[in-house]
Chains A and B, each alone.
Chain A
Amino acid sequence: MDIALQENISTLERLREEALQCGGEKRIEVQHLKGKLTARERIELLLDEGSFEEFDMLKTGRGSAIGDESTYPGDGVVAGHGTVEGREVCVFSQDFTVIGGSLGEAHSQKICKVMDMAERVGCPIIGLNDSGGARIQEGVDALAAYGEIFYRNVKASGMVPQISCIMGPCAGGAVYSPSMTDFVFMVQNSSYMFVTGPNVVRTVIHQDITSEDLGGAGVHGSKSGVAHFTLPNDILCLREVRRLMNYLPSNNRQKAPLVDFSDPPERTDPALDYLVPPNPGQTYDMNVLIYSILDGAEFMEVHADYARNIICGFGRLGGQTVGLVANQPAVLAGVLDSDASTKAARFVRFCDAFNIPLVSLVDVPGFMPGPEQEHGGIIRHGAKLLYAFIEATVPRISLIVRKSYGGAYLVMNSKHIHCDINYAWPSAEIAVMGPKGASEVIYRREIQAADDPEAVLSERMEDYRRRFANPFLAARRGYLDDVIFPRDTRYQLIRALQFLEGKKVEKPDRKHGNIPL
């Protein structure tokens, strides 16, 4: 007996030792030379020191269906749970040093196990992707393996936050799991994502393109919007994931964490009184307002390089995480286009799913005109944002900073689509359209008939500006709850959040609505 047990103990020691060695020294060296960390090193940095508990360390595949009978330690993925600032998360980390991190049956089962557990215990799931793709040797088993993961991505969606980090290749069907998670991080120059790679592109459409240009972090961070965050290296990427986690609740039954930066709620900022330039044609940077009002001037911007005409991200007000959706007048005048609408819509839905109050800062001249946008379906895409705001049952606060015209005014979380509290600065202009366009329509005949059309137009514009380009008409109607002094914005928003803390909305009994996807 003793001897048998002794043997088992040494077997366990040996197996553990093997598993910890991953793909062996040589492959680890290659991984490092590529500027990448190993699967285990990444987990070590992601989680609190010493908190990682591994599942299925000893799990291997059955051996491939064709040819190769060998099995691999951990089957190319490390999975388990640990803590981020003390809070539990589930994590899997694909190991490129073990058969290229390729995904087969056992590999997938390990991932599915931690995904199931995450959903059951209500903790976030973080996937660190670095995989050559499907393990071709396993045939249809490998495809089935992906399907199981996709299924769980959707099941967990809106239940626990799902985070993906692309830290190496991620190609073919493999892209769809990260794309269904809530946030995608990509590491610059060492990761790429595409449905079909450069070789296929060359064969099918005879175009030469590099992996980086086809699906690198730069492309997905700025052009496609697939990546929400792009970071220069693994260490900064993992730090950024930890930072994001601190804004989020662990699941949809919790409220977002309160983090006290001892930043006084009543702190005023006199500079805000001067933020909006006197000339309506001039722009300003909405970030000044954002960084001024948030606790500790900390803001975690989502999609910072994509559709920059709208700013989305997390910050805290009075310790409470809020989701900010702000037009950026400094980019394309803050106009809403298809990309901006879909970017914001997805962000709004995430916040709503995870009980994060929404604050919108509005300075929007309207929707982007032109055939490119119309033919690209701005009607559909704009409707997504409209739908998402209306659907959201979390506290919704809107602040109209300057322009708020036409349909875009309604879409941007207005009182008419039932935001809870709608404030405006004295610089707000709420109307169907800007003074020029409006005057040209209303006084068309008069202007045409005039001896000096320019003079009449500018006179009418001035008249219109005085009557409509201010917040007072809307305030008289009660569409605005109040017109506030810019310097007091922070305090006003925090008071509104306090008031709305107890907000409860009965959900209608339906399977789900039909958002215009």
Chain B
Amino acid sequence: MFEKILIANRGEIAVRIIRTCRDLGVATVGVYSEPDTRSLHVLEADEAVFLGGSTAAESYLDMEKIIRIAGEKGCQAIHPGYGFLSENPVFAEKVENAGLVFIGPPSSAIRLLGDKVSSRNIAKEAGVPIIPGGTEPLADFSAAGRAAEETGYPLLLKPAAGGGGKGMRIVNGPDELESAWSASRAEAKKAFGDDRIFIERYITRPRHIEIQVMADQYGNAVYLGERECSIQRRYQKIVEEAPSPGVDEDLRAKMGDVACRLALQAGYWNAGTVEFVMEASGEFFFLEMNTRLQVEHPVTEMVTGMDLVELQLRVACAEPLPVSQQDIKINGWAIEARVCAEDPEKGFFPATGLVTRYAEPRGKHVRVDSGVHAGSLISVFYDSLLAKLVCYGKTRDKARRRLVNALNGYHIEGVVTNIDFVNRILNLSAFSDARLSTDFIPENFDGAEAKEAPPEEHINRLVMAVSLVYHCRNALVRESLKPMVSEIGSRLADKERFEYMAKSGDEVFRVMLHGNSAERTWTISVNGREYDVTHPPFEFYRRRLKLTINGGVHRFIIRFVGNFISGSYCGLNRVFEIYTPREWELAAHMPSPMKLVSEDVIRCPMPGQVVEVRVKPGERVYRGQEVVILESMKMESGVASPRDGIVDGVKVEEGRAVESGDILVTFAKEEE
């Protein structure tokens, strides 16, 4: 085994690799950029070396510097993690040439599988089923027209280089082909500097199934079952599971065999993932092979009981695979939720900030791979993935319930996260019934809101939690003030029955609390339905709450927001206004909240970088017109003017990094 390795990555994956290294007694060297100075992986690594720079290019992508540090620190190998340099054949080669071990496949295999065209060809040679469509990039539009006739509609235009959905276009009929063709080429050219496009059949209601393979340097390859990663937003996975509810023993063996064949054909070793698209019929087609450890590898680890990073290290050390195919058994079920700093309400745009509160769920069969802690600064420079929460159960539903509970107790403040959103996914009947496809999000959501109404029980529990916190907080203040109250006149025994109206959006709940704060046992009715509730002493400062409702334990995140109180539970995230009955009666007279007068500035809606400014001072703009184009994570998007007006000043220029709330454009004062 290696004595010391360098981890050329950051965040949760760096921390995760360090964990296995520690178990194996391998010393670790971490590297970090300026924004990561105080990151968790820096604290966790045995040694950490400063790379300098803020952007990825200046830091985690600087091959020469990383290899030099590895040499200076006496490392024998470099683990690239995922992303950054992990699938860069040039890097792998340079590592090899520097006399170090690249913990991953040989550079030749990366190169072969990294290009869509060559990987398709080798898959074909290995007998892996391929999606109908051209394997050659199309020369021009007329070639595209001919290829489209052969493949049939709907079809997909796909750039030969790159990924992440950039440049991809779905074409439903011949009339759409021409515009899609030129758009796809232009986008591919811009994104990858390569406008080669090919056409393939578009599969409706596809599922994303991938096979984990592990191969050694002696021609042995095994598969460690499949993962289903159909639930994606913006072409990125968000909830993954193993095994797949759509794959049975036979299918698994079939997919596993072709995956191993492909690996061997490509001269592959180390961990790799063969991605397939699967139709409802169970027919599957090769998508691509990822030549690295996947983000979602923990679900495989949980159902197989293997440590994939350990296997990676052993194989990289030229050890033979310690397991054969018969040793690998799939046991139980594991589901992973990706916890990202992003705002589902704003189209999943990345969010930034200082993590001011951080509390992870804990428990048996609950695994958290996290790269953050209280104090972490989430910047615009890197991926928005904060942590992965993985839960295991004997059955799929047990794993699902455990994950829901764990997410209910996952508390992150200071930066907006998708915790409630992923929890919403897990609570949909479409998820529990495993009606999965890569269209899951658009099929089941309007923006961030689920189309399916949440179970009444969930809402009632949340209503009880917020009402109880509201009541007990006020009771506590009243109790504390007693020494200052006139002693004359016997104090009447406190009331034991309290009534509130809780309003959330258009819904109103009548809540009756019966019990007392001292004993912490309550009978609570919500719109006439009664529940028995007990709770440990309230610690309001924690903003996490545990209630036992009719014998079941439930966790909530509860927070006062001015005069209102917000609560999160099972994917519900609501702000409640709580009124006494008399206040409620009088609230009927209150005016509805006025709309804010639009400001005379346009503010930046999200952190990112300005790629284009489309207006000049003095220009008239109209409501809805895009004035500035921002790039944030891999996405470009326009900032639209909220009103008509004449531009007075443009406060940003191309290339400038901006934070949300920054002023982009100011308007001139209009003459009356």
| A85 engages B590 (CB within 8 Å) | no
Q: Which residues of B contact A233 (CB under 8 A)?
A: 590-591
Report whether A262 and B538 are in contact in the complex, using a CB–CB cutoff of 8 Å.
yes
Residue interface mask A30-42, B partner, CB < 8 A = 1: 0010011100010
Task: Report if B593 contacts A (CB, 8 A).
Answer: yes
Q: How many residues of B contact A (CB 8 A)?
A: 42
Find chain A residues with CB under 8 A from B482 CB.
86
**B481 in contact with A85 (CB, 8 Å):** yes
Q: Which of A32, A45, A273 contacts B582 (CB 8 A)?
A: A45
Bound CA–CA A496/B583 (angstroms): 41
Question: Is the beta-carbon distance between A297 and B541 smaller than 8 angstroms?
Answer: yes
Q: Which residues of A have CB within 8 Å of B540? A: 261-263, 296-297
- Contact of A284 with B by CB under 8 A: yes
List the A side residues contacting B541 at CB < 8 Å: 261, 263, 267, 295-297
A277 CA to B376 CA in the complex, in Å?
Answer: 11
Query: Which A residues touch B376, using CB under 8 A?
Result: 274
Q: Which residues of chain B come closer than 8 Å to A467, judged between CB atoms?
A: none
Does B285 belong to the interface (CB within 8 Å)?
no
Partner of B414, one of A35, A236, A277, A288: A288
Q: Are B563 and A239 in contact (CB under 8 A)?
A: yes
Cβ contacts under 8 Å, A414 to chain B: none
A188 contacts partner chain B, Cβ-Cβ < 8 Å? yes
CB of A271 closer than 8 Å to a CB of B: yes
- Bound form: Cα–Cα A277–B353 in Å: 12
For window 116-162 of B, CB contacts with A under 8 Å fall at none
Nearest A residue to B491 via CB reads: A86
Chain A contact-residue range equals 35 or more
- Contact residues in A for B473 (Cβ distance below 8 Å): 296
Within 8 A of B (CB), among A252-295: 254, 257-263, 267, 269-275, 277-278, 284, 288, 291-292, 295
The interface stretch among B258-266, B334-342, B354-362, B382-390 is: B354-362
- Cβ A240 vs Cβ B563 within 8 A: yes
List the B side residues contacting A44 at CB < 8 Å: 582
Does B652 have its Cβ within 8 Å of any Cβ on chain A? no
Most chain A CB neighbours (cut-off 10 Å) among B358, B373, B539, B589:
B589
Given contacts A189-B594, A263-B540, A278-B37, contact A35 B589 (CB under 8 A): yes
Pick from B354, B373, B485, B543: contact of A86, CB under 8 Å: B485
Chain A residues closer than 8 Å to B486, beta-carbon distance: 86, 88
Contacting residue for B583 out of A235, A272, A273, CB 8 A? A235
Interface residues of A in 324-348 (CB under 8 A from B): none
Docked-complex contact B356 and A271, CB < 8 angstroms:
yes
B493 within 8 A of A: no
Query: Is residue B453 within 8 Å, beta carbon to beta carbon, of the partner chain?
Result: no
Contact, CB under 8 Å: B589 / A297: no
A130 interface residue, CB < 8 Å from B? Answer: no
**Contact A250–B543 (Cβ < 8 Å):** no
* A63-103 interface code vs B (CB 8 A; 1 in, 0 out): 00000000000000000000101111000000000000000
Q: How far is the CB of B27 from chain A (nearest CB, A)?
A: 26
Closest to B480 in A: A259
Cβ distance B378 to chain A, nearest Cβ, rounded Å: 12
Residue from the list B37, B354, B357 in contact with A275, Cβ < 8 A:
B354
Query: What chain B residues lie within 8 Å of A83 (beta carbons)?
Result: 485
Cβ–Cβ < 8 Å partners of A319 in chain B: 480
B625 to chain A, nearest CB (A): 28
Rounded to whole Å, the gap between the CB of A232 and the closest CB of chain B is 6
Give Cα A49 to B543, complex, Å: 29
The answer, yes or no, to whether B587 is at the interface (CB within 8 Å) is yes
B476 within 8 A of A: yes
**Is B484 in the interface zone, CB < 8 Å from A?**
yes
Q: Assess whether B414 is in contact with A271, with CB atoms less than 8 Å apart.
A: yes
- Smallest distance from the beta carbon of A85 to chain B beta carbons, Å? 5
Q: How far is the CA of A211 from the CA of B525 in the complex (A)?
A: 46
Q: Which of A32, A188, A260 contacts B594 (CB 8 A)?
A: A188
Residues of B within 8 A of A374 (CB): none
Per the bound structure, the CA–CA distance linking A41 and B585 in Å amounts to: 11
Complex CA–CA separation, A257 to B530 (angstroms): 37
* C-alpha gap A35/B357 in the complex (Å): 39
Considering the chains assembled together, what is the distance between the CA atoms of A270 and B583 in angstroms? 41
Any B CB within 8 A of the CB of A492 = no
How many Å lie between the Cα of A464 and that of B336 in the bound state? 51
User: Do A257 and B484 touch across chains, with their CB atoms under 8 A apart?
Assistant: yes
Considering the complex, give the chain B residue whose CB is closest to the CB of A189: B594
Structural contact, B539 and A292, CB atoms closer than 8 A: no
Residues in B588-615 with C-beta less than 8 Å from chain A? 589-591, 593-594
Known: A87-B485, A257-B480. A271 touches B586 (CB 8 A): no
A86 touches B478 (CB 8 A): yes
Partner of B375, one of A49, A274, A295: A274
Q: How far is the CB of A170 from chain B (nearest CB, A)?
A: 19
A273–B355 Cα gap in the complex (Å)?
Answer: 12
Q: Which residues of A contact B38 (CB under 8 A)?
A: 274
Interfacial chain B residues near A463, Cβ < 8 Å: none
User: Are A260 and B480 neighbours in the complex by a CB distance under 8 Å?
Assistant: yes
Q: A413 CA to B637 CA in the complex, in Å?
A: 47
A263-B539 in contact (CB<8A): yes
Compute how far the CA of A330 lies from the CA of B615 in the bound complex, rounded to whole angstroms: 28
Could you say which residues of chain B place their CB within 8 Å of the CB of A190? 591
> For the complex, what is the distance from the CA of A44 to the CA of B583, rounded to whole Å?
9
Q: Which residues of B contact A257 (CB under 8 A)?
A: 480-481, 484
Q: A273-B375, A297-B541 are in contact. Are A35 and B590 (CB under 8 A)?
A: yes
Whether the Cβ atoms of B481 and A259 lie closer than 8 Å is yes
The reply to whether the CB of A246 lies closer than 8 angstroms to some CB of chain B is yes
Q: Which of A41, A188, A261, A274 contacts B377 (CB 8 A)?
A: A274
How far, in angstroms, from A296 to B469 measured CA to CA in the complex?
A: 12
Residues of A within 8 A of B579 (CB): 235
Q: Is the CB of A270 within 8 A of B591?
A: no
A45 proximity list for chain B (CB < 8 A): 582-583, 586
A495 to chain B, nearest CB (A): 18
B2 on the A face (CB < 8 A) = no
Known: A288-B354, A292-B356. A85 touches B478 (CB 8 A): yes
Would you call A270 and B374 a contact (CB within 8 A)?
A: yes
Question: Which residue of chain B lies nearest to A261 when distances are taken between CB atoms in the complex?
Answer: B540
For window 466-497 of chain B, which residues contact chain A by CB distance below 8 Å? 473, 476-478, 480-486
Min distance, Cβ A368 to any Cβ of chain B, angstroms? 20
Q: Could you list which residues of chain A lie within 8 angstroms of chain B, going by C-beta atoms?
A: 32, 35-37, 41, 44-45, 49, 83, 85-88, 188-190, 232-236, 239-240, 246, 250, 254, 257-263, 267, 269-275, 277-278, 284, 288, 291-292, 295-298, 319
Interface residues of B (CB under 8 A from A): 37-38, 354-358, 373-377, 414, 473, 476-478, 480-486, 537-541, 543, 560, 563, 579, 582-583, 586-587, 589-591, 593-594
Closest 10 CB pairs of A and B: A274-B375, A35-B591, A86-B485, A271-B374, A259-B480, A32-B589, A263-B541, A233-B590, A271-B375, A296-B540
A–B complex contacts, Cβ < 8 Å, 12 sampled? A32-B589, A232-B593, A235-B587, A239-B563, A254-B484, A257-B484, A259-B477, A261-B541, A262-B538, A271-B354, A272-B375, A288-B356
Q: A86-B484, A261-B476, A278-B37 are in contact. List 17 more A-B contacts (CB 8 A).
A: A85-B478, A87-B485, A232-B594, A234-B590, A235-B587, A236-B563, A246-B481, A263-B539, A267-B541, A270-B373, A270-B374, A271-B354, A275-B354, A277-B377, A288-B354, A291-B356, A295-B541
